[in-house]
Amino acid sequence: MRKIKIISLLAGLVLLAACGGSSPPAIQPIDPILPPIQTYEDDPYDVGQEPTPAQGGHIHVAMPIPQTLNPLLNSDPDLAQVLRLIFEPLVVFVDQEIVPNPIFVRDITLSPAGNSLTITLRDNVFWEDGSPITSQDIAFSINTLRNNAPQTAVYRPNVARLLSHSIVNDRTIHISISPTEDILWYLDFPIISYEYYRQVPTTNLRATRNMHPIGNGAFRFHSYIMADRMELIANETNPHARPYIDRVTALVLRDFDDAIHAFEQGIIDAFAHYTTYQGRFRALGKEQGGLLLSPYVSFMGFRDAYLRDITPNLIDWDVLLSRHHPNARAIYTSNNEEGSLELLAGQSLRVIVNQDNLKGIAIAATLYEALEVVDAALALDVLPATQFQAALSSGDFDIVIGTANLGIPPAAAFSTQTIGSLHIIPIAFRDQFLYASSQIRGIAAPSNNIFANVRDWFVVSY
Secondary structure element (H or E) that encloses residue 292, with its range: strand 291-292
Q: Is 52 helix (H, G, I), strand (E, B) or coil?
A: coil
pLDDT of residue 295: 67
Say if residue 27's pLDDT is above 60.
Answer: no
437 vs 31 pLDDT, higher one: 437
Q: Domain spans of the chain?
A: 58-291+435-459, 295-430
- Name the DSSP letter for residue 66: P
Architecture of domain 295-430: Roll (3.10)
The dihedrals phi and psi of 129, each to the nearest 5 degrees, come to -85, 5
pLDDT at position 344 is 84
Across residues 89-112, what is the average pLDDT?
A: 90
Closest CA to 81 of 16, 7, 128: 16
Helix residue ranges, H only, 302-460: 305-310, 317-324, 337-344, 358-371, 385-394, 410-415
Residues 364/368/371/374 CA torsion (nearest 10 deg):
140
Tens digits of per-residue pLDDT, 431-462? 777 788 888 888 876 577 888 889 999 998 65
Cα(421)–Cα(393) distance, rounded to whole angstroms? 10
Fold of 58-291+435-459: D-Maltodextrin-Binding Protein; domain 2 (3.40.190)
Question: Alpha-carbon distance 313 to 308, whole Å?
Answer: 10
- Is pLDDT larger for residue 282 or for residue 30? 282
Q: What is the mean pLDDT of residues 380-392?
A: 93
- Say if residue 409 is preceded by a cis peptide, omega within 30 of 0: yes
Mean pLDDT of 399-415: 73
**Average pLDDT of 399-420?**
74
Average pLDDT on 173-195 reads 92
**Direct distance between the N- and C-terminal alpha carbons of the chain, in angstroms, rounded to an integer:** 61
- pLDDT score at 432: 72
Beta strands 105-110 and 116-121, pairing class: antiparallel
pLDDT at 47 over 80: no
Q: What is the pLDDT of residue 406?
A: 67
Buried b (16+ CB within 10 A) or exposed e, 256-267: bebbbebbeeee
The Cα–Cα gap between 462 and 51 comes to 11
Q: Is the per-residue pLDDT at 42 higher than 50? A: no
Note the pLDDT tens digit of each residue in 278-306: 666 666 666 556 667 666 788 899 999 98
Q: Return the exposure string of 381-410: e unless at least 16 CB atoms fall within 10 Å of the residue's CB, then b.
A: bbbeeebbeebbeeeebbbbbbbbbbbbbb
Does residue 46 or residue 278 have the better pLDDT?
Answer: 278
Among 1-10, 59-68, 351-360, name the one with the lowest average pLDDT. 1-10
214 compared with 11, residue with greater pLDDT: 214
Identity of residue 220: R
Which stretch of 18-32, 164-178, 182-196, 324-338 has the lowest confidence by average pLDDT? 18-32
